[in-house]
Structure 1
Amino acid sequence: MNTMTETALLQSAEHAACGNALSSLFHPQSIAFIGASERPNTPASRGLRNCLRHGFKGGLYPINPKYPELFGVPCYKTLADLPELPDLVMIALSAEMTLSAVAECKAAGVKTVVVCSAGWEEQGPEGVERAQRLQQIMVGAQMRMLGPNCLGAGNPAQGLCLGYNSSFESMAHARTGRVGLVTQSGAMMGGLLLNGEDAGADIGLYAHVGNAMDIGMEELAQHMLENAQIDVVALMIEGLRQPQRFLELARRARAIGKPLVVFKAGASELGRQAVMSHTGALAGSDEVFAAVCREEGILRVSESEDLLSTASALAKWKNKRPVGKAGLLVFTLSGGAASILADECADADVPVPELSAATLQKLSAILPSYVKASNPLDVGGAVFSDPELPRRALAIALEDEAIDSVLWVGVGAPRDDRSQLWLNQALDVMATSDKASIIIPVSGYVQEAGFERARAMGVPVARSLRASAQLNGFARKFNQATYPPGEYGAGIPELPKIGGLIDEVQSKALLKALGLKVPDSRVANTAADVESCARELAGTVVVKGLARGIAHKSEHGLVALNLGTPEAARAAAEKMQAQAAELEFLGFLVERMATKGVEVVLGIKRDPGFGPVLMFGLGGISVELFKDVAFGMCPLSPESARELIGLTKAAELLRGFRGQPKADEPALIDAMVRLSQFAAHHAGRLSEMDVNPVIVLPQGQGVLALDAMIACDAAP
């Protein structure tokens, strides 16, 4: 059996195991509620009442020795008294009482428990000790646990709703969607679901992980991906506990063609740890997460309000023509909205193409002379003289082969007859088209009763012009081909066995062994030796002071440029020693002065979750001044290296800005790939690395690494 076949079989087995483990959470035959009481708003009572209200068909068993009946169903004294062993048990007791309840469920053979109580590791040393006892109970258990500190889970198709904050009291779950939602915030889950339901962003499965002591976000999301009733998985993330499993999840989602939409809280950081390199200073956790999303095809929304609406729209568009093969039609009754959308579409990388000559001719035949046939198509005031014009114009424009989707922009909220007429005209046309469509109300709000037909048809109603453009852009991103993964490469030089800061001489020796060019150089032990080294190199030189523990030489006055004579080189070295007498000098590096080119920076940082990342951007002091950099996971492929270049302003300089000669971009890409392979090879020890600046010479002349700094861990 070949390796690929073995891997496929292992993945299939893992997916099947995940599905079997969580089926009792989302598809239980019966549920018990430990802690239910006559108080209707306690967690277990609400879970029971919600399941009753939504029509759960299996057994529902409240457990409390105080009551013979609760909310119209028999109540039982203990778990052992139930007429059947429940698949799922919701435990809503104090943290201390929860321990014995979990142990009882484990002994009875319950498949899954949902633990609601707080009072665990989030509440100091006492809570940590209590959490350790709960973990000990779960050791060796076949039973699975969601939580603790958990708001529950739900499956609207089955009438399952264990959510117990006030938002769940208002949910009807009248329509079952094809989106799976996993959140790390319980309060936000209720708000997302209720607002989403009101706006037509319907849900298929949902769960809050709580403290994720057993069942985690990644496992829940994987289960949803493999579920036939789910087409899109949405995640609300506060922090990743299993970054590598998250990567596997994203790749699995891409492989089976199901979008993964995420909102991640905590994008800004109050502070960064002290670091030695520019890369370490700029590569925060959010920048790395953004790079992972870009490379793995994860669709990251910037506002939590757009999480479910984006996921739901993508699910509704699954059976439409793929968005991304052509462009967007903006159809509007407002010229102002059209101009705003032009900017928003540009920001979202959404093309708004010209319509074909044949389409323009058909439109011109029905439009009044003062309305221009174009895209955006603004029929404007003409609707007052011809109320049926929007229907006919939209039908013609939507048939154009340059169009793969449409944004329909209304003006008035659908509360009066005329606004409702125009909306219904648009929906009539959309109902007969295989192209993705979205409605944008300029006035009113997405939950308007007048949009009920759109919701029933599965036509998304966006909350803003920007959100509508971004949604279309997300669909395009998902349908784009991803770049091939990078290769680990061969001939990678080894790091020194010592740890800490590796000096520039050793760092450049490693770069040279890796295949990157460095300037001709000599190492001088003393200032007096600098003069002879400069004479050997001939011409203009650079002198750098080598001092123990100093990463950035220029900040300590240890770099002297454009030294035209050997005597000037010696004088510069003597000046460095005099002005920085407190430093421990190890010698001097004398290099031939490099020719001019485009200065860029290449760097490496080891992310604690995702491993080494490569940074690219404008080099020299520009990296500190503009912070115009992009990150990619190591190792890079040539295609992903080229993409990184294109994400920065450096691309314009490299490709001949204002008549300047084009730089040797292929050589730069080779250098980026090799450096990323070096980082991947040494992922366990390489901590940080800066190669700054790298001079990219004119086409055909290669690149030259002028400075380098490496920090690594000691060999085990």
Structure 2
Amino acid sequence: MQNELKSIFEPESIAIIGCSPDKKKIGGRPLDYLMKYGYLGSIYPVNPNYEIIEDMKCYETILHVPSDIDLAIIALPQKLVLPTFLACIKKSVKSVVIFSAGFSEIGEEGKKDQEKITALAKKHHIRVLGPNCLGLFNVSKRMYATFSTILENEEPLPEGKIGFVSQSGAFGSHVFTLARQHQIGFSKFVATGNESDIDVADCIEYLIHDEKTSVIACYLEGAKDGNKLINMFKLAAQKKKPIVLLKVGRSDVGMHAAMSHTGSMVGSDSVYDTIFKQYGVYRAETIDEFIDVANAYAELPRMKGDRVAIFTVSGGVGIMLSDQVIENGLTLPETPQDVQNHLKSIIPIAGVKNPLDTTAQVSYMPTLLEDFMKAVLKSRQYDAAIVFLGFSGLKPDSLSTKLTSLIHIKQQFPDIPCVIVTLSNPEAKKIIHDSGLVSNEDPTRAVKILSAMNELRKSKIHLEKACANEEMEVPLVQINQLMSNHRKALTEFQSKEIVRNYKIPITVEKLALTPTEAVEWANSIGYPVVLKGMSPQILHKTEKGLVQLNINNDQEVKDVFNQLKTIIVNEEEAAFDGVLIQEMIKDHSIEMYVGAKRDPIFGQMILVGLGGIFIEVFKDVSMRKAPVSPMVAKEMVEELKASMILKGFRGKTRYDIDSLCNLISQFSFVISMQEELLEEVDLNPIMVFEGSKGVKVADALMKLS
């Protein structure tokens, strides 16, 4: 992908089709930016209405350009886009950016035209960004193929380590402008628009391999290919390129808005959230957090633990920071006693336990901050630091002294991330940034930054577990060979026969088609037994009276068999598939639920929760993309509030969690190997026995696509 997209991110030649001498027009801005910022490649204006633009020869069509073209920018009305694109294909242009709107975002007619562009791009191996997109830029190459007004400012752009991909051009411009105000630079910026060809995942892949990019920031409304996106998340983790992502569309209204904006499939937000956590992607909630975390990932060293030291000139802010540090999953260890004694010898009135309050004396003792920080961090009891300096950033003399101390600390402790909190004017922000330090004006945002750094540390462990499932193997069983009559749902008996083939333990049971056969099976299993009426049209058996417990003799079996058959036969359009004779479980157990739901974007998702009716009552559920390893399955169980019961709460007997986790993992392969065929699966309840007595699936339901 890096080679395929090189012509669009690093073109040696650019043709601007619809080029204009008017710098305020969409066709004029790319030329203005390329010239203003010093693009070193060749530029070819294309417009039949001009012979010369900016002292450059202007060509009538792309076919009249005498040289090979890496990138063509199409800035034309919608009706001219398709014939122009065909001309680009004829010219063997390598890549195209289409600014023009009027495609899938406006309705069916526009969608048809966009689909033609997609088909032509694939057929002729030409890469297309857009249509309906703001374009892209590459700071190090001084290449600006965009019409965004954010570049009208004459100042050179700060080059940074963040590669930014956005499905919204306007949102991307807003974020870019905010980041620029804070002296935060980007390596690349790309707005993908309608994604007729190049999508977010393609751009992420390019940035993963880009040497100028160390962090990838992404604004996402929806994805068409979930597995492709997951593969890029995995690749980014392997290449140690953190991804910070802002995903919109949490609410139903937001989801519909995103759908109309990008034309992407939006999907369930809870599934997206699960995918991000499972594959180590940090999800920001706000634009401020999005920018803060991306910058921190780019500039700060990685945290080795969760221990934070707070240095403050305000006792009140120190207390607030302490609360927020704990609330965000970090720890605040007390300063070692010998270090406390040393600090008290420097300034007796200081607070030295952590938070460490240097008091206002820090303004009168130039080395006080550095002395405190050096003594504390030298103890190696802390993994990160927050330094609250009040409004020092508004006072140049005060700031200069403190920055000197902070730079010394950074040099002495290069492995400990430090976030400075101070009110700052633009000049101070530039000085702080140029010093290689990370600052913020809000103490709460500073805590969130360190919380995000800690999440990055923990995500490595999660990813190792997530990738462990690739080493597992299970037998392949074709579900369609075990089903009949093309039914949309399988009975409990059919469903359990399938999971049994994957070596998942189920209750002892037999299917009887006659009362005589029922008695025979009951005697074989041993009384008491359970009888269940089987019909693929009746999925909730209990509500129809199709489950009878504690059947103790032959006559009861015959009577109940006939009773269950009568209920099914009298049910409109219900087929009678027999009666399931099942063992009556006597051993003490806890009921758990393991299920699956096929997401339209990401495929099979596996869910775990407390079983029986409690899955609906408490909604205490953990979810992952299938398949999962037993390690990840254990992680899922640990996330449940109900896990305390399984572990043996307050001296109670512990249940067989290991067997449950093996079942979860094994089942996850069942659903992932039948990705398209299974719509929904419930194993509920699963009986989890005490100690190491194992598990058994007592009921199952499969719905087919």
Aligning the two structures, in what range does the TM-score lie when normalised by the shorter sequence?
0.7 to 0.9
CA distance 1:31–1:207, change in 2 (3 Å): same
- Aligned partner of 1:490 among 474, 499, 523: 474
In structure 2, the partner of 1:680 is 672
Give the partner amino acid of 1:327: R
Give the partner amino acid of 2:344: S
In structure 1, the partner of 2:258 is none
- Aligned partner of 2:93 among 88, 103, 110: 110
Give the partner amino acid of 1:415: L
Paired residue secondary structure (2:507): coil
How far off its partner does 1:293 sit?
Answer: 2.6
Range with bigger deviation, 357-366 or 536-545: 536-545
Within the alignment, does 1:615 sit opposite 2:607 as a pair? yes
Q: What TM-score comes out, normalization by structure 1 length?
A: 0.85
In structure 1, the partner of 2:383 is 404
- Aligned partner of 1:439 among 410, 419, 440: 419
Following the alignment from structure 1 to structure 2, what is the Cα–Cα distance between the partners of residues 170 and 570?
Answer: 87
Following the alignment from structure 2 to structure 1, what is the Cα–Cα distance between the partners of residues 603 and 537?
Answer: 25
In structure 2, the partner of 1:201 is 184
In structure 2, the partner of 1:455 is 433
CA distance 1:420–1:494, change in 2 (3 Å): same
Give the partner amino acid of 1:350: L
CA RMSD of aligned residues (A): 3.5
How far off its partner does 1:203 sit?
Answer: 0.3
In structure 1, the partner of 2:507 is 519
In structure 2, the partner of 1:280 is none
Paired residue secondary structure (1:403): coil
In structure 1, the partner of 2:215 is 232
Give the partner amino acid of 1:668: L
How far off its partner does 1:151 sit?
Answer: 0.8
How far off its partner does 1:42 sit?
Answer: 1.9
Following the alignment from structure 2 to structure 1, what is the Cα–Cα distance between the partners of residues 240 and 515?
Answer: 64
- Aligned partner of 2:403 among 424, 430, 436: 424
Range with bigger deviation, 236-245 or 475-484: 475-484
How far off its partner does 1:267 sit?
Answer: 3.3
How far off its partner does 1:36 sit?
Answer: 2.7
How far off its partner does 1:521 sit?
Answer: 4.0
Following the alignment from structure 1 to structure 2, what is the Cα–Cα distance between the partners of residues 532 and 132?
Answer: 62
Contact 2:386 2:421 in 1 (8 A): no
CA distance 1:505–1:163, change in 2 (3 Å): same
Following the alignment from structure 1 to structure 2, what is the Cα–Cα distance between the partners of residues 509 and 218?
Answer: 39
Give the partner amino acid of 1:439: V
CA distance 1:260–1:571, change in 2 (3 Å): same
Offset from partner CA, 1:209-256 (integer Å, 9 cap, x none):
222223232222212211211112222222222323223222222222
Q: How does 1:215-364 map to 2 (within 5 A)?
A: 215-269=198-252, 285-317=268-300, 320=301, 322-325=302-305, 327-364=307-344
Following the alignment from structure 2 to structure 1, what is the Cα–Cα distance between the partners of residues 517 and 602?
Answer: 45
How far off its partner does 1:601 sit?
Answer: 0.8
- Aligned partner of 1:468 among 444, 449, 455: 449
Offset from partner CA, 1:161-187 (integer Å, 9 cap, x none):
233233333484532111211221111
- Aligned partner of 1:603 among 595, 601, 604: 595
Contact 2:474 2:502 in 1 (8 A): no
Contact 2:407 2:435 in 1 (8 A): no
Contact 1:406 1:435 in 2 (8 A): no
How far off its partner does 1:152 sit?
Answer: 0.6
Within the alignment, does 1:123 sit opposite 2:93 as a pair? no
Contact 1:438 1:468 in 2 (8 A): no
Q: How does 1:550-629 map to 2 (within 5 A)?
A: 550-561=538-549, 581-582=570-571, 584=574, 585-590=576-581, 591-629=583-621
Range with bigger deviation, 323-332 or 42-51: 323-332
Give the partner amino acid of 1:389: L
Contact 2:17 2:76 in 1 (8 A): yes
Contact 1:329 1:406 in 2 (8 A): yes
In structure 1, the partner of 2:537 is 549
Paired residue secondary structure (1:244): helix
Give the partner amino acid of 1:391: E
CA distance 1:23–1:535, change in 2 (3 Å): closer
Give the partner amino acid of 1:707: D
Contact 1:324 1:475 in 2 (8 A): no
Contact 2:22 2:28 in 1 (8 A): yes
Following the alignment from structure 1 to structure 2, what is the Cα–Cα distance between the partners of residues 535 and 194?
Answer: 77
CA distance 1:39–1:629, change in 2 (3 Å): same
CA distance 1:572–1:396, change in 2 (3 Å): farther
Following the alignment from structure 1 to structure 2, what is the Cα–Cα distance between the partners of residues 594 and 259?
Answer: 51
Following the alignment from structure 2 to structure 1, what is the Cα–Cα distance between the partners of residues 651 and 394?
Answer: 57
Within the alignment, does 1:701 sit opposite 2:693 as a pair? yes
Following the alignment from structure 1 to structure 2, what is the Cα–Cα distance between the partners of residues 384 and 170?
Answer: 38
- Aligned partner of 2:173 among 180, 186, 190: 190
In structure 1, the partner of 2:193 is 210
Give the partner amino acid of 2:161: R
Give the partner amino acid of 2:657: E
Following the alignment from structure 1 to structure 2, what is the Cα–Cα distance between the partners of residues 325 and 255?
Answer: 21
Following the alignment from structure 2 to structure 1, what is the Cα–Cα distance between the partners of residues 631 and 303?
Answer: 23
How far off its partner does 1:52 sit?
Answer: 2.6
How far off its partner does 1:430 sit?
Answer: 4.2
Following the alignment from structure 1 to structure 2, what is the Cα–Cα distance between the partners of residues 80 and 251?
Answer: 42
In structure 1, the partner of 2:262 is none
Following the alignment from structure 1 to structure 2, what is the Cα–Cα distance between the partners of residues 110 and 494?
Answer: 46
Range with bigger deviation, 619-628 or 296-305: 296-305
Following the alignment from structure 2 to structure 1, what is the Cα–Cα distance between the partners of residues 509 and 704?
Answer: 24
How far off its partner does 1:271 sit?
Answer: 12
Offset from partner CA, 1:599-622 (integer Å, 9 cap, x none):
221112233443323211222222
Offset from partner CA, 1:384-407 (integer Å, 9 cap, x none):
675653332122222232223222
Following the alignment from structure 1 to structure 2, what is the Cα–Cα distance between the partners of residues 346 and 570?
Answer: 63
Give the partner amino acid of 1:424: L
Contact 1:598 1:697 in 2 (8 A): yes
Give the partner amino acid of 1:477: K
Structure 2: gaps (5+ residues): 256-265
Following the alignment from structure 1 to structure 2, what is the Cα–Cα distance between the partners of residues 478 and 171?
Answer: 41
Within the alignment, does 1:640 sit opposite 2:632 as a pair? yes
Following the alignment from structure 1 to structure 2, what is the Cα–Cα distance between the partners of residues 522 and 105?
Answer: 67
Q: What TM-score comes out, normalization by structure 2 length?
A: 0.86
How far off its partner does 1:576 sit?
Answer: 6.8
CA distance 1:704–1:37, change in 2 (3 Å): same
